[in-house]
Amino acid sequence: MNSENTSDKNFGDKKEINLKVSGMHCAMCAAGLEATLKKARGIYSASVDIASERADIFYNEDETDIRDIEKLINSAGYGIIKSEIKIKISGMHCAVCAEKTKNELLKIPGIISADINLIDNSAFITFIKENVKLLDIKAAIEKAGFEYMGTDEEVSTDSENQIFLKEQKERIKKIIIGLFISGVLIALMFFGQSLPLNFPVSYLMFIITTPVFLYLGYPIFKAAFKALLNHSLTMDVMYAMGIGVSYLSSVFGTFGIILTNDFMFYETSVMLATFLTLGRFLEAKAKGKTNDAVKKLIELRPKTAFVKRNGEFVEVSADELLTDEEIMVKPGGRVPVDGLVISGEGYIDESAITGESLPVRKSKGDSVVGGTLNTADSFVFRSTKVGRETVISQIIRLVEETQRQKPPVQRLADTAVSWFIPVILAIALIASFSWYFILGSSSLFALTVFISIIVVACPCALGLATPTAVTVGIGRGAGLGILIKNGESLEVSKKLKCIIFDKTGTLTVGKPFVTSVKSYKTSHDELLAIASGVEISSEHPIAKAIVKKAEDEGIKPLPLLSFKSFAGGGVSAEYEGKKVLIGNQDFILKSGLLIPDNIKDELSDSQNSGETAVLVALDSEITGIISISDVLKRSAPVCVEEIKKMGLSVAMVTGDNEKTARHIAQKAGISDVYAGVLPDKKAEIVKRIQQTTGPCSFVGDGINDAPALAKSDVGIAVGSGTEIAIESADIVLMHDNLLDVPAAVQLSKKVMGRIRLNLFWAFAYNTALVPIAAGILYPGFGIIFRPEYAGFAMILSSVTVISLSLLLKTYTPPAISKES
């Protein structure tokens, strides 16, 4: 972020913003966008320059803002060039803290969005680089009452861990002192009168309590003071009120200022401060565990690497590696970046990335992924992706991005949090006044009610209900090789009615091989020599299978002339002046050739066996049939069975002929088959199933699957698939185990179920305990909820929610355990 290009100037009631606009191609584009902007409400003037692709806009910030301007530009068919940054923040503890920070950041002209993550205490900000200074962001965070720690790059994981451990050690120290002093104060309450003292016991309690109270309460009062300075009600304000009223009323009672000696809350004030510290200790520890998956991924990246420089391998920082460098990995070492093996071989443990438990052999030409572990031998590879482009960095970014997103169900909690504290404060005041002025209770009882209500109420549980469950669930998925790319797919997965599979490369291995060669007018070897001579010029998987068959049998492809490929499913060439045709039945018939009845029977037998039959014709005469098969993945039948157990229907879409498709589908356990579907028509099949069955998921791996993946409600791409397929999908499976498909759906349902359970308990705690703290049980049962009990209950609400979320870490989908 460069402050030299920033522009944040006030001209009376006008605000200026400078934007880089994408998508403009000519002066007419610029003129049209400028006219659109000038007509918009709240914009005084706009100047759009095509040469610099820049828009300078003066606007009234009371009538519009950058988010409205972005929507306007997008609706005109253009875009804004935006930047992103992750900021680390210290001092946020609850949903109210997060909401306050977000609101302050969004007040900065040029900030489009700010997502606050309470799990790792960060803000992910999308902004216009030319209009936002880092100092503005720092000031907004501090104005919200919290500490700006730096950007994600500036605050290393190690330094963050050190700060965390230091804070936790300090909290443990405070908890021990607080509990010990609380015990002493309770003992003095019960047995103090029997001590041989020349002054009241309350004086001794005052002397013991004051330094400990200040030591424990200082961070709380400091945070509360900052919040009040910024006209913000946070939970720190509520806590400060609770422990402050407890302590001050005790002091007033001790020295006879307004109150009597009955108002002894010394042990309460210390216990409340101790419980609050204990709650934050447990919360921080539990929150740290929720993000273990990302931490483990970050830890996989080695800090150093052996790279070839000036003809020798030298050890350098892994951050210094560039693309196209030769890097050596020794036994027991981790691969630092992505690349291709150029010499040597090794057995790579990829379990942390793909979930595959067995090491994979890697030799020359094989790809290796950064962060994986070399278990045996040494090898050298050439780097292809470094830094943020490596697979592991992309996985970390994807997981963190998904964890930041909020499923729609969180909106209820967000709404509740926004009015939570004012309502609780109002309830506390009304309840205490009612007890004292209307119901005629003692002032001591009314004060106890007030303190208990503001202490027991806790929006933290509401704020943590969704992010903790999403963080743990997404992390668990990443550990299983299941990458869930957005929060919405979590919620949609619960509504799915059907899973649609592509066949080739998804249900099947995707690497066809020759199962039989039948020759009629020529020898077996000559037939393969001619066929491989033609197909060697083709890139089709079937052509490669024929060439490989010839290689395996030691048959050299014959040199042929005039190779041509036809979209109808075949190829042609010339051999010793004769025309050679190779292709499927339709291609041969359209070429004007006749197929004898005996060969038709052979074709039918192959298709009934689920094989693809390729005919070879020489000089208008059929000379052979080459049968090719693509093997069904071992996990496919169990996958389909597991999906059906979940109450979902299963369908298969393929471009293969009906007989072959039915044969493969029958082996997999699928009865609903759509055969002969051209690639561009798969999305139409998805739409048809959505209309007749309901929300559906499409599982595919190829470029031609991208439209269907995008059209489905939840697109699932297998990790071996193309980048386009993966980009179009909502869920990416890192390896080819189809059992991960039901696992992904089950995990999504588990996460959503846990979010709802968390929200139930968060609301239940507050709904049940606030009335009890208000004294609703006192008239009938004589039960009064003392402030220290309220403090302990407040801890339980947050710890319960986090603990329920952490149970997702133990989740193992039944389908996966079956395979193993």
- Residues annotated as catalytic are 502
Cα dihedral sign for 520, 525, 526, 527? Answer: positive
Report the distance separating Cα 111 and Cα 102, nearest Å: 11
Phi then psi for 629, rounded to 5 degrees? Answer: -130, 150
The number of beta carbons lying within 10 Å of the beta carbon of residue 162 is 11
Upper half-sphere CA count for residue 21 (Cβ side, 13 Å): 35
Report the distance separating Cα 701 and Cα 725, nearest Å: 6
**Which residues pair with residue 566 across a beta bridge?**
570
Report the distance separating Cα 695 and Cα 689, nearest Å: 8
For the chain, report the end-to-end CA distance as a whole number of angstroms. 50
Report the distance separating Cα 17 and Cα 28, nearest Å: 22
Report the distance separating Cα 177 and Cα 165, nearest Å: 18
What HEC string does 191-219 produce?
HHHHCCCCCCHHHHHHHHHHHHHHHHHHH
Report the distance separating Cα 773 and Cα 536, nearest Å: 82
CA distances from 337 to 266, 291, 301, 303, 647 (A): 59, 23, 8, 11, 42
Specify the amino acid at residue 439. L
Token pair of 749, please? 């349902």
The number of beta carbons lying within 10 Å of the beta carbon of residue 497 is 16
Token pair of 216, please? 């424990």
Report the distance separating Cα 42 and Cα 121, nearest Å: 35
Report the distance separating Cα 47 and Cα 58, nearest Å: 9
521 class by beta-carbon count within 10 Å (0-12 exposed, 13-18 middle, 19+ buried): middle
Report the distance separating Cα 70 and Cα 608, nearest Å: 58
Cβ atoms 813, 782 nearer than 8 A: no
Q: What secondary structure does DSSP assign to 263-305, as a single string? A: ---HHHHHHHHHHHHHHHHHHHHHHHHHTHHHHHHHHHS-SEE
Cα dihedral sign for 320, 326, 329, 330? Answer: negative
Report the distance separating Cα 428 and Cα 553, nearest Å: 87
Report the distance separating Cα 795 and Cα 178, nearest Å: 16
Report the distance separating Cα 511 and Cα 563, nearest Å: 24
CA distances from 691 to 364, 694, 713 (A): 49, 6, 12
Report the distance separating Cα 17 and Cα 37, nearest Å: 13
| Sequence-separated (6 or more) residues with CB below 8 Å from residue 396 | 294, 297, 298
Q: What secondary structure does DSSP assign to 88-115, as a single string? A: EEES--SHHHHHHHHHHHHTSTTEEEEE
The beta-strand segments (E) located in 106-151 are 111-117, 122-127, 147-151
Buried b / exposed e along 103-127 (16+ C-beta atoms within 10 A): ebbbebbbbbbbbbbbbbbbbbbeb
